[in-house]
């Protein structure tokens, strides 16, 4: 097959982090708001939150998404060591 080369490694990692964290944030949003009613939310136990339910859902989804994406990005950063620091891979039993 000939054609344009695929996306670079960094772009593939960015897409993987963005998509997986998007799905995880959606699941977390459903789990949190199955238990918490946005109308009953208060600022640290004092004044009620004066936002619509849709605004609370949106803000919490974006917060969940960014925190999960940060965690996934740090995981990729730690797992993918530069090539010069990576030990050589050898299958067991191969001549050395």
* Partners of residue 7 on adjacent β-strands: none
Token pair in block for residue 16? 């993987």
In a domain, 70, yes or no: yes
69: three-class secondary structure by DSSP = helix
For each successive 10 residues of the chain (96 residues), what is the average pLDDT? 74 91 96 92 84 93 96 87 62 63
Domain count, the chain: 1
Q: What is the pLDDT of residue 18?
A: 94
Q: What are the angstrom distances between the C-alpha of 90 and each of 5, 80, 81, 82? A: 30, 18, 17, 18
Residue 62 lies in a domain: yes
Asked if residue 63 is part of any domain, the answer here is yes
The reported pTM is 0.74
Q: Establish if 46 belongs to a structural domain.
A: yes
- What is the domain extent for residue 60? 13-79
Within 10 angstroms of residue 71's Cβ, the number of other Cβ atoms is 13
pLDDT given for residue 68 in this prediction? 96
């Amino acid at each position: 097959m000939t054609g344009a080369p695929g996306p670079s490694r960094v772009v593939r990692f960015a897409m993987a982090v963005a998509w997986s964290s998007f799905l995880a944030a959606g699941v977390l949003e459903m789990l949190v708001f199955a238990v918490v009613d946005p109308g009953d939310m208060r600022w640290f136990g004092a004044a009620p939150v004066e936002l619509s339910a849709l605004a609370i859902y949106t803000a919490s989804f974006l917060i969940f998404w960014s925190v999960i994406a940060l965690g996934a990005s740090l995981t990729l950063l730690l797992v993918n060591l530069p090539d010069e620091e990576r030990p050589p891979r050898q299958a067991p039993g191969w001549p050395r």
